[in-house]
Copies of this chain bind each other. A is one copy, B any other.
Amino acid sequence: MSHTLGIRQAQKQKTRQALLDAALGLLEEQSLSSLGLREVTRAVGVAPTAFYRHFRSTADLGTALVEEALGSLHPMIRTTVSTADDSEERIARAVELIARHVDAYPAHVRFIARERHGGVQPVRDAIREQLARFGQEVKDELAKDPESAGWSDDDLLMLANLYVDQMLITASLFLEAQEATPQERDRVIQVATRQMRLISIGRHHWLD
């Protein structure tokens, strides 16, 4: 599908990715609104002016990071919600999936948690849009479940967003526990699992 692009474009994308990676690293200890463009280029080893060949501003780079962090996550979410297991096992699977994702991409998770309410509006908007998509997709999967019979569209979306928020909270908990003891991590797993379970119980008795 992807028409192999010339040496020219390849190098460009390489530098672009280097800028994104460097920025993501720097953002572990600060927030986007304090990230300087010179700081990023210095970390990569290119001239400050090279930055403009790829991004208009650090805010622009931020929205690109949002795409990188969340864009490829949609299929994963869909399949996780839709697998028609026993509810209890599905919860365990989801929690472990989140744990693995946080371990694999901690900087991405931190970035999203930090900039969701951060000081740069375009980035906040980009994150909100992605999360809204997640909400819709979760809702679509929930709608297929027999248990959703009799539910209004509004209520399904309400529940879907509750799940999405809960996933973010859980991811953030795993992030905090990342450098803690294994038993602390286990405690996070337990808490996250039970909170999900409680929500699922509420879902089950919603129409009573």
Contacts and interface: CB of A to CB of B under 8 A. Distances in A.
Interface of A: 27, 29-34, 110, 113-114, 116-119, 154-155, 158-159, 161-162, 165, 169, 172, 190-191, 194-195, 198-206, 208
A34 B29 CA distance: 12
A200 B130 CA distance: 28
27 contacts: A30-B33, A31-B31, A31-B34, A31-B118, A33-B33, A33-B34, A34-B34, A34-B119, A110-B117, A114-B118, A116-B117, A117-B117, A117-B172, A154-B190, A158-B194, A158-B195, A159-B198, A161-B195, A162-B195, A165-B169, A198-B199, A199-B199, A200-B202, A202-B203, A202-B205, A204-B205, A205-B205
Contacts of A29: 119
Contacts of A27: 119
Nearest to A110: B117
B31 A191 contact: no
A90 B138 CA distance: 29
A199 B197 CA distance: 10
A114 B115 CA distance: 8
A201 B195 contact: no
Contacts of A31: 31-34, 118-119
A194 B155 contact: yes
Nearest to A28: B119
Contacts of A119: 27, 29-31, 34, 114
